[in-house]
Amino acid sequence: MKFSKLTRINIRKLDASEVITEHGITFERLINGDGRFTVNVMVDGVRVHRVIGKESEGVTREKAEEYISQARSDSRAGRLNLPTGRKVVLTLQKAVGEYITKLEEEGGKDIASKKRRLNQHVLPMLGNKPLPQISTFDIERYKKYRKENGASNGTVNRELAALSHLLNKAMEWRWIPHKTCIIRLLKEESGRIIYLTQEQIIRLLEVATQDQNPHIYLFIMIGLETAMRRMEILSIANS
**Residue 67, domain CATH:** 3.30.160.390
Q: Go through the chain and tell me how many residues it has.
A: 239
Give the total number of structural domains in the chain: 3
Convert the pLDDT of each residue in 129-143 to its tens digit. 888 889 899 999 999
pLDDT above 80: residue 230: no
One domain for residues 146 and 121: yes
Calculate what percentage of the chain has a pLDDT beyond 90. 47
Confirm whether 189 is domain-assigned: no
pLDDT band at 228 (very low <50, low <70, confident <90, very high): confident
pLDDT at 77: 60
Lowest-pLDDT choice from 19-23, 66-70, 159-163: 66-70
One domain for residues 96 and 76: no
Confirm whether 188 is domain-assigned: no
Residue 123 vs residues 26, 114, 187, 194: alpha-carbon distances, Å: 28, 12, 23, 33
Confirm whether 24 is domain-assigned: yes
pLDDT at 85: 53
Is the CB of residue 38 less than 8 Å from the CB of residue 22?
Answer: no
Confirm whether 57 is domain-assigned: yes
**Structural domain for 54, as ranges:** 8-80
pLDDT (average), residues 215-221 = 86
One domain for residues 210 and 145: no
Which pTM does this prediction carry?
0.52
One domain for residues 66 and 102: no
Among 57, 80, 103, which residue terminates a domain?
80
